[in-house]
Amino acid sequence: MDGYGGKILRINVSTGETNVEKVTEEMIKKYLGGDGFAVKLLYETVPKGTEPYAPENAVIITPGVLTGAPLPTSGKVLFCTKSPLTATISESVMGGSIGAELKYAGYDAVVITGKAEKPSYLFINDDDVKVVTCEELWRKNTREADEILKKKLGADVKVASIGVAGENLVRYAGIDSEERQSGRGGLGAVLGSKRIKAIAVRGTKGLDIHDPVKAMDLVKKWQKVMVTSGAFKDDTKYGTGEFLEWMNAERGAFPTRNFQEGVFNEREKINPYYWAPKYSKKNKGCYTCIKPCGKLFTIKEGPYAGTKVDGIEYETLYSLGSACGNADIEAVARANELCDLYGLDTISTGVTIGFVMELYERGILNEVEIGFKLPFGKSEAVPQLVEMIAHRRRIGDLMAEGVKRMAEKIGKGAERYAVHVKGMEPPAYDVRGIKGMALAFMTSPRGACHLKSGAYALELTGKFWKFSGVDRFSAENKGYEIKEMEDFMTVYDSLGVCKFSRGFFLIQEFPEILETMTGVKFTEGELLEIGERANNIKRLFNAREGITRKDCLLPPRITEDPIPEGVSKGSYVTVEEMNAMLDDYFRARGWNNEGIPTKEKLEDLEIEDMA
């Protein structure tokens, strides 16, 4: 099957038993690949009420349809599970080469269930698949695990691994591969619970391309478009942090000090305009990315000498920076490196640290409980707390639970300051001043998230794709907008194309690209319907787990505290606006007002048998 690996691999790591089935044409037309495959497989594999750390939970790995194909920026892979942080379906997409390597080994999906008796790794060597006991890997960091497995299995294998945070079941532990991460939602902890330290893949079969000559023409065409664009200059020079200054000065929506403010006054110290020329000498790109936004950040002297990290991304400049009031870029870099080595999501980690800082300043947690004084801006405490969280040492043990569970355990009104949706700590958008994104935080299946809709670009600039004149301070007409953006982005996650290319490849470009690579014809409408179908299944999964309307609601910081200064001063989302936006969204989706997909909608999407 051109462009596809062609097979789904299931492996039970309790027994080592494997099962391979073929990807059918019907599955391709209905689910496309990547995200579409993952949600279908998770829904069918994980029974209702499964505990996230139970052997019955699954970690599903799906490269997209275009992952491994020659199209520039099409190298992504998606990891999916029932999350220990949110108890919802949770997916996280990473770059690196491991997704492409899985395709080259012949797999469009890998479904991992069970629990190994001893620390092990999974080795997928083309058709040869096995679970290998390897206790020497346990307690190693992700960089060491990569090195050990390459020495053992050959330098050409691609490795994804967890760090000690995953082993210690930190609820927001992630997975690392080639210094890129599936960070969000605790996938690393689920692998840790299965005692699977790493997944190593060698795929030597390659990928058949339907029309190789035209494929090369498309490579040349899109390369030219990308290289001559403004985005190319910004991405390659400064990376994703490029719009940090704009988010502060022009939009006043850069969350600061645990979402108390929307402007970080010391931002010039963490702005890549300042640090990229000083600390970064080269770019780092994901598989097939010719406009790399990654930066190799190195520190040569001082207290953090020896730090080397692929970053620092926009989200991390916020989470380990502004969210903690931390303006020391070297401390941010070191904390980022530690998160990567220990396998921690930088967003949840940083927001959790910022939350404890606010509790300290408000007297809810004291110096004795924390172990030291912890006001906002205490830079050196940030990498120190990353260590403590990963190893669950002292206060780090509590922090490893995430802000929602922490607040419940601490009591004393701590919940008032815990910023999360469905238990997921939010990314770098002060949604009090970006109301469509506030709705997107509510509706994302995995909790507060910017990527399931990607609507921030539309909301902040007022236009994208078929939308224009969008007002970020208004709560009107946001339901249809977010629904459409979610379906659009789900197509991206099914294709395996980087979301930072969404300005280049609008949905209408993909029918030609898909036919060239796979020979399968899709219309733009069919692609968006595949996105809609996947989003309905995600909602069905969450509904089956008992996630209701009230679990979608925003925290008090968003609905009660106006942004105190800057361009967005005074803006917040009222409770009425919150409920109206949610109603509007459920209507646009064809769901009832509890957010349950109607029978008619499921029939339209030909998934009525799933309800």
Partner 1 sequence: MKIIMAYPERCAGCRECQVVCSLTHTGTVNPHKSGVNIVKRGVDIDLPVVCVHGNGCNLECISACPENAISQNDGVVTIDHEKCTGCGECIKACPYGAIQIAGGLAYSCDLCGGVPECIRVCTQGGIRYAEADAEYVKNVYRIIREG
Contacts to partner 1 by CB under 8 A: 68-70, 72, 75, 97, 100, 104, 143, 146-147, 155-156, 178-179, 203-209, 212, 215-216, 219-220, 223, 227, 232, 236, 281-292, 294, 296, 298, 308-310
Query: CA-based diameter of the chain, in Å?
Result: 67
Please state whether beta strands 7-12 and 107-113 pair in parallel, antiparallel, or not at all (unpaired).
parallel
Q: Where are the beta strands (DSSP E) in 13-76?
A: 17-22, 59-63
Closer CB to partner 1, residue 146 or residue 486?
Answer: 146
| Residues 192 and 344: beta-carbon distance below 8 Å | no
Distance of CA 280 to the CA centre of its chain: 24
DSSP of 248-281: HHTT----BTTTTBS--TTGGGT-HHHHHHHHEE
Q: Where are the beta strands (DSSP E) in 273-392?
A: 280-284, 294-298, 308-310
Closer CB to partner 1, residue 132 or residue 290?
Answer: 290
Whole-number minimum distance, CB 467 to partner 1, in Å? 31
Closer CB to partner 1, residue 68 or residue 84?
Answer: 68
Q: Which helix (H) or strand (E) holds 524?
A: helix 524-544
Among 601, 372, 307, 603, which Cα is nearest to 483's? 601
Whole-number minimum distance, CB 291 to partner 1, in Å? 7
| Helix (H/G/I), strand (E/B), else coil: 228 | coil
Which two tokens mark 292? 């790399």
Structure-derived torsion over alpha carbons of residues 584, 585, 588, 592, reported in degrees to the nearest 10: -90
Whole-number minimum distance, CB 78 to partner 1, in Å? 19
| Distant-in-sequence, close-in-space partners of 357: CB < 8 Å, separation ≥ 6 | 257, 258, 324, 325, 374, 375, 376, 378
Closer CB to partner 1, residue 154 or residue 413?
Answer: 154
Q: Is the dihedral of CA 256, 429, 448, 415 positive or negative?
A: positive
Closer CB to partner 1, residue 104 or residue 572?
Answer: 104
Closer CB to partner 1, residue 287 or residue 522?
Answer: 287
Return phi, psi of residue 426, to 5°.
-80, 155
Closer CB to partner 1, residue 132 or residue 219?
Answer: 219
Whole-number minimum distance, CB 165 to partner 1, in Å? 18
Whole-number minimum distance, CB 181 to partner 1, in Å? 12
Whole-number minimum distance, CB 70 to partner 1, in Å? 5
Closer CB to partner 1, residue 188 or residue 203?
Answer: 203
Which two tokens mark 75? 């190298």
Q: Which helix (H) or strand (E) holds 59?
A: strand 59-63
Whole-number minimum distance, CB 302 to partner 1, in Å? 18
d(CA 340, CA 607): 39
Which two tokens mark 74? 């099409």
Whole-number minimum distance, CB 285 to partner 1, in Å? 4
Which two tokens mark 372? 């030291």
Query: How many other CB atoms are found less than 10 A from the CB of residue 182?
Result: 29
Whole-number minimum distance, CB 161 to partner 1, in Å? 13
Closer CB to partner 1, residue 179 or residue 487?
Answer: 179
Whole-number minimum distance, CB 105 to partner 1, in Å? 11
Closer CB to partner 1, residue 298 or residue 579?
Answer: 298
Helical segments of 553-604, H only: 556-560, 575-589, 599-604
